[in-house]
């Protein structure tokens, strides 16, 4: 099956809290990954799919690989906008391109690529993305290269 690409952009707002920062008041690098995880989860919820419900149906999404690049720091109390854009849609996995931007000036703070695999919750073996969820992502899919 041919992999599909998408240009649909989903964004999730969040704020930097004290717990997200290091002693210097700057967001600790690993917390950008948490912000991006939340955006992917909210993207699913936006499409009408709850991770809690999917787990009861023996379905999980797990991060297979990740790559992040840091451009500028976020600081305590910054409002952030985190995007979750599907680059590639396959039968058992998705590849997301994500950005974290500061809301006040739209500065790119961090960007990353994440491959997320669909697995059986009990065995952690790969499984196909359920048809309804696949169709929901496919409805947004366009040629990413043409963006």
Where in the sequence numbering do the catalytic residues fall?
22
Q: What are phi and psi of 40, to 5 degrees?
A: -65, -40
List the beta bridge partners of residue 27. 21
Matching residue, tokens 């690529």: 113
Cα(first)–Cα(last) distance of the chain, in Å?
A: 23
DSSP three-state, residue 108: strand
For residues 134 and 136, what is the distance between their CA atoms, to the nearest angstrom? 5
Q: Which of 112, 113, 117 is nearest to 127 (CA)?
A: 117
Instruction: Please report how many Cα atoms fall inside a 13 Å half-sphere around the Cα of residue 20, on the Cβ side.
Output: 19
């Amino acid at each position: 099956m041919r992999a599909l690409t998408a240009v649909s952009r989903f964004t999730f707002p969040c704020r930097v809290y004290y717990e997200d920062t290091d002693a210097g008041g700057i967001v600790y690098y690993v917390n950008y990954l948490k912000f991006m995880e939340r955006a992917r989860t909210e993207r699913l919820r936006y499409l009408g799919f709850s991770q809690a419900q999917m787990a009861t149906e023996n379905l999980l999404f797990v991060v297979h690989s990740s790559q992040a690049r840091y451009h500028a720091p976020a600081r305590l109390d910054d409002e952030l906008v985190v995007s979750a854009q599907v680059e590639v849609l396959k039968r058992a996995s998705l590849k997301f391109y994500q950005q974290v931007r500061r809301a006040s000036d739209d500065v790119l703070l961090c960007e990353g690529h994440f491959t997320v695999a669909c697995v059986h919750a009990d065995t952690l073996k790969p499984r196909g993305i359920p048809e309804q969820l696949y169709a929901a992502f496919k409805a947004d899919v366009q040629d990413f290269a043409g963006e």
